[in-house]
Amino acid sequence: RLIKQDASRAIFDENKLRTSFLKALEKRPVSTVAIDSAVKGIIHRLRAVGEREVSSRLIGDWVMDALRELDEVAYVRFASVYRSFQDVNAFREEIERMEQTSETKKG
């Protein structure tokens, strides 16, 4: 089960997870095989946690991690909704954060 941000509970729905990826990756050059692999990876992580209830925030963070690896544009799309970006500055800050993280990994 998921613990939502408003503290309500919901049953985990793999289709909703897949839909989140598909929306973020719409018209992006990412294969369905890669998407399926990312979804399976999150489901595997969810099972590995071993808890009956997991916060939706944790799953959202995992989705962001997976999208960052798959496609940076899709990552920013998802982040803009997930983190409720209010203006262009929020996009700019997220992109700057991505660039810093990318440079840290390279260096």
Residue 82 structure tokens: 């997930």
Q: Do 54 and 46 touch, CB atoms closer than 8 A? A: yes
Segment 22-47 mean pLDDT: 96
The mean predicted confidence, pLDDT, of the chain is 89
Q: Do 27 and 63 touch, CB atoms closer than 8 A? A: no
Burial class (CB in 10 A: 0-12, 13-18, 19+), 15: exposed
For the cut 80, the answer to whether the pLDDT of residue 104 exceeds it is no
Q: What confidence category does residue 79 fall into, taking pLDDT thresholds of 50, 70 and 90?
A: confident
